[in-house]
Structure 1
């Protein structure tokens, strides 16, 4: 009784901030703007109503159903909903592998944020080779893995500070943009009319939609923390609603604001890497504040990226060590250190991150490295989403076996139809995203990145076959009792 009374719970607003940190930031509205121009506003509105809300509410429904099986998050959901340990293992592996490109990408962004703080400009590409960029990225990942094993409370503190700060900066950017317009500012994107918002549905357009999906996904990463809430069945839904609301605000109004400062028809080639800093630099200039806002944002971005790195390294490591892995991984992979953390999951994470960095070292410069790792997320994350909607469909097909205090779409056929739509949409986005972005079709650079896409995804997902084989060897070599 005393332990229960003194137990430290996570409140639903804090959980929402942890989720928000893993889902979307100011950078995430810049990437699609470079890919789709002003028409991305149409894409964001479509995504919010036809994917983000169903996605968030599906996570809330599954979280309510499997309140007692949360350590493995999505992997546990699939395992219990399909009654298949094998599918649970593959979900765990693909989920974990899908997070690795983003872990590397976040570490890259951390370096970029510090370069703007120290240098005050975009000169990092001319000062550092892609090889050294990879080395420093790897060092940052190692540092955070060590820190998480020594500072248990760092995750919640950094996520709360980072999430709140980034959301405040985004609101600040939108409000200040409106202020500049009311005080004689001009709109950089021309024409700024209804026609400019209508997409051209080309293969290139669909190949970039996976990156939008990646930008708004990640809420299921907070599932392992659901058991740390006092009233999870009631409060987890509140967290999902808050995340969906903040995501909608950030994507739609943030894109409008960016189109005022940047000509969406003629964007900088390094917008994905440096665009956030350009945006606050331009805003500061219009308000007569010089580079002050840019430096403030650089500090917030550094904290935000470090919070993302902490969340992803911690939550993904638990996925492989959860109840899905017992029959498919060698026992040494499940070993935990004195702090109770799955230490070999961290080692495996480090190894495959190094593999991605070695591949990225074949690209010509830092900007190409940054863009390729970012675009890789548009492939692997939609594949991961397919497992979430498979679990939702299975739960609703057999809803008498899976009672839930929170029910998303009470009509069974309507719920299954929604889950099927989201599953198919995710699969199409994943497949189309293999087509390289930011390079011209048919060139050597395009072919190079296409090969890297297939090679990296093949290794990340295919390496999952190795663990069951090692487990089989371990059992075969074990002495009979």
Structure 2
């Protein structure tokens, strides 16, 4: 009798806790995913690549890629909810510790071009917000552009350590405001047709929205995937829903509907103001501002909409950059642990900040900027950095589908509250389909875009694409070796070795800049040779036992 009464009381407590527990509703989760997945700039970038044909590409992507991708993420997040639902924990749970570390590294490495691109966009946004035109960046050389970007890095690394929470809130508000501006643009652009506006893209018919499926098209698919990925960031919240099995698919359906509205109608709206057959060369860099300028002219309010967008963009990107610089570094240092990450990178200051991790982020960001300064114009630098995201980001997304395939191959070992497709064999094949599509997009994305095929600049961009990938991904394989040196010798490198390697690195960069600024036809090969020789010498110095 006493046991029965005690059980009844405990049951009532559990029921009360269940009633008071805070759940995330499916519309809220859909909005959270929406903010991470698509933005106005993503629509601009892909409109530049494919013109009006991108409408068909968006439809195909939504039904053949986004829906299965988001639902797979939901199941993985449900399975590994105790580990935070991060991508590296999914791989660690299915493939072991080292592959989990390497996934964390590649995810972090993929963020480097993204934060560099974000810093560039901050500089460009400030120019438009202050000058009201693209004059600011037009007067800068590539070197000045790189210096401004590095200055932005240093400033925001300092700022985020003091105002991190405020910046996280600011980036969330700015993100919602950015999507609000995007929806405003789409609605007002379509409404302008009823006020006597005309469509700039002619002829506007069915053939205009069908892309040409050729080699060039394949090179642009990676940027489409880059535009719609990021859904894995909401995976940890799947288990915070009251009924994930029933509510999560609703969230993803809402996400797809909202994404479809913005991408399809957004691309059509751009076709109202821009002739898709003759697009400005700098559309990727300045297209968002051009679009809101055109909208203001259509409604006879001058640059009002452009200024609203420019300041929204600056505030959002500045806050986002500060949070990213902190979050990505902390994630890498804390998630990989002591086994593979060198002690000097895990070292923190009195405030608990991984200062050497920040330094590594800045050095690799500087390396990416260094590769870009040999391109002819600043617009080329911006486009190249953006397209680099279209290579590395889809490559990292492959890990998601690989983890999902492993889970569905051993379903009893990985129970889940939410399951995407009950038939394990069918689910495995869908995972393989997504993996193959993403891998193909990654490989073809290495081919340069926005420049004439097989021209000197095309070959130059191909070389620096491959170089950037080797350094960013390859360094992840080097760090465990450095960790072993620390364990064996107490320190990885002596002070004299560190000084020598730093001096050699600086010398290599200076020589490359001098040669790269000349008019030599063979300068690209010479620069590559200098960099390779520099790496070899640094490697030989670092290989020696620390004294």
Which deviations, in whole Å up to 9, do the C-alpha atoms of 1:332-376 show, x marking residues without a partner?
Answer: 322344554544332221110111011111112211110000010
- Cα distance change on mapping 1:367 and 1:10 into 2, 3 Å: farther
Question: How many residues of Structure 1 are paired with residues of Structure 2 in the alignment?
Answer: 472
* Aligned with 2:288 (options 250, 257, 276): 276
Q: Which runs of 5+ in 1 are unaligned?
A: none
Give 1:57 deviation, angstroms: 1.7
Are the counterparts in 2 of residues 76 and 324 from structure 1 also a CA contact under 8 Å? no
The residue number in structure 2 matching 1:256 is 268
Which deviations, in whole Å up to 9, do the C-alpha atoms of 1:417-455 show, x marking residues without a partner?
Answer: 111111111100000011110110121111111111111
Equivalent position SS for 1:449 = helix
Deviates most, 117-126 or 353-362: 117-126
- For the pair 1:51 / 2:65, whether they are aligned, the reply is yes
Deviates most, 85-94 or 267-276: 85-94
Structure whose residues are more often helix by fraction: 2
Give 1:327 deviation, angstroms: 1.5
Q: CA RMSD in A?
A: 2.7
Give 1:18 deviation, angstroms: 6.0
The residue number in structure 2 matching 1:74 is 87
The residue number in structure 2 matching 1:219 is 231
Give 1:226 deviation, angstroms: 4.6
The residue number in structure 2 matching 1:64 is 78
Inter-partner Cα distance in structure 2 for 1:322 and 1:244 = 33
Deviates most, 315-324 or 263-272: 315-324
Give 1:50 deviation, angstroms: 1.1
The residue number in structure 2 matching 1:149 is 161
- For the pair 1:373 / 2:385, whether they are aligned, the reply is yes
Equivalent position SS for 2:466 = helix
Deviates most, 462-471 or 335-344: 335-344
The residue number in structure 2 matching 1:394 is 406
- Cα distance change on mapping 1:272 and 1:129 into 2, 3 Å: same
Inter-partner Cα distance in structure 2 for 1:19 and 1:337 = 34
Deviates most, 303-312 or 185-194: 303-312
Inter-partner Cα distance in structure 1 for 2:46 and 2:294 = 20
The residue number in structure 2 matching 1:437 is 449
Give 1:240 deviation, angstroms: 5.4
Equivalent position SS for 1:425 = helix
Inter-partner Cα distance in structure 2 for 1:214 and 1:339 = 35
Which deviations, in whole Å up to 9, do the C-alpha atoms of 1:177-228 show, x marking residues without a partner?
Answer: 12110111111101110011111111011001101111111222455x7599
- Cα distance change on mapping 1:353 and 1:244 into 2, 3 Å: farther
* Aligned with 1:112 (options 124, 128, 134): 124
Give 1:170 deviation, angstroms: 1.1
Are the counterparts in 2 of residues 285 and 291 from structure 1 also a CA contact under 8 Å? yes
The residue number in structure 1 matching 2:53 is 39
- For the pair 1:178 / 2:190, whether they are aligned, the reply is yes
Are the counterparts in 2 of residues 158 and 307 from structure 1 also a CA contact under 8 Å? yes
Equivalent position SS for 1:324 = helix
Equivalent position SS for 1:441 = coil
Are the counterparts in 2 of residues 24 and 215 from structure 1 also a CA contact under 8 Å? yes
Inter-partner Cα distance in structure 2 for 1:168 and 1:307 = 17
Are the counterparts in 2 of residues 19 and 219 from structure 1 also a CA contact under 8 Å? yes
- For the pair 1:24 / 2:38, whether they are aligned, the reply is yes
Inter-partner Cα distance in structure 1 for 2:98 and 2:59 = 37
Specify which structure has the bigger relative contact order, considering alpha-carbon pairs within 8 angstroms and separated by 6 or more residues. Answer: 1
* Aligned with 2:419 (options 387, 407, 416): 407
Are the counterparts in 1 of residues 124 and 137 from structure 2 also a CA contact under 8 Å? no
The residue number in structure 1 matching 2:309 is 297
Which runs of structure 2 are paired with 1:66-145 in the superposition (5 Å)? Answer: 66-70=80-84, 73-82=86-95, 84-145=96-157
Are the counterparts in 1 of residues 78 and 239 from structure 2 also a CA contact under 8 Å? no
Which deviations, in whole Å up to 9, do the C-alpha atoms of 1:86-141 show, x marking residues without a partner?
Answer: 11111111111111101100111111111011111122333111111111111212
The structure whose Rg is larger is: 2
Inter-partner Cα distance in structure 2 for 1:10 and 1:146 = 36
- For the pair 1:455 / 2:462, whether they are aligned, the reply is no
The residue number in structure 2 matching 1:205 is 217
The residue number in structure 2 matching 1:315 is 327
Q: Which runs of 5+ in 2 are unaligned?
A: 1-16, 492-547
The residue number in structure 2 matching 1:357 is 369
Inter-partner Cα distance in structure 2 for 1:346 and 1:219 = 26
The residue number in structure 2 matching 1:428 is 440
Are the counterparts in 2 of residues 330 and 468 from structure 1 also a CA contact under 8 Å? yes
Inter-partner Cα distance in structure 1 for 2:254 and 2:324 = 20
Give 1:10 deviation, angstroms: 10
